[in-house]
Structure 1
């Protein structure tokens, strides 16, 4: 029961993060290094991917695979978090918050894998 609640909380937060890619797109675009091409397209595409994965996490037949894909997605976006941590002056966030995001990424990976592990 608790595991299911945790999974639904994770999926809800992940879906909202995907929506954020459209609502505060400038933040996400600025989070990537300037040399990355098609930054806006990448932001919107990753937002769609987050929302899609969130939906697949709550649908039981796709849950386990969606958990693995979500973990892989979180690994793929980790370099952006590193970039932000090493360039804190570019953001209106405290530097410590950008550094706290790094271990949080591993917690999120653990959370989604634990919540989607087949019984």
Structure 2
């Protein structure tokens, strides 16, 4: 019989979400130029927006991993995912235009990847919300 409380354990979907945030957040900081084209033009200082969103993803990931911060990080993660969804749609639109213009396997593959990612946002938001409600980990 384990004496470990259920709130100190982390389940696979939550660990996966944290890993995605860590990877994406790191990529935002290491290669911000990848994300700059999808920042809405109304926002000033595109590079800073990309860097701040990368830091936010890393902070959310770390928060999801710790039982004491998991609830707040869950709600913050859901909000972050909802907030960046329009940028992900824009990335798909741009990739589709590039794929249509270039007609290469690489550009078509990237476009397919951006499209496939869009419906994954909803299960990621559900995992984040359940962590926020204290139902995960």
Q: What TM-score do the two structures reach when normalised by structure 2?
A: 0.74
Which runs of 5 or more structure 2 residues have no equivalent in the other structure?
A: 1-5, 100-106
In 2, Cα distance between equivalents of 1:62 and 1:8: 14
State the partner residue of 1:66: 73
2:117 corresponds to 1:110 = no
In 1, Cα distance between equivalents of 2:40 and 2:70: 33
In 1, Cα distance between equivalents of 2:60 and 2:19: 11
Aligned residues: 119
State the partner residue of 1:45: 52
Which runs of 5 or more structure 1 residues have no equivalent in the other structure?
A: none
Tell me the secondary structure at the aligned position of residue 75 of structure 1: helix
Tell me the secondary structure at the aligned position of residue 35 of structure 2: helix
Report how far residue 3 of structure 1 moved. Answer: 5.7
Report how far residue 32 of structure 1 moved. Answer: 2.5
Structure with max Cα Rg: 2
Q: What TM-score do the two structures reach when normalised by structure 1?
A: 0.83
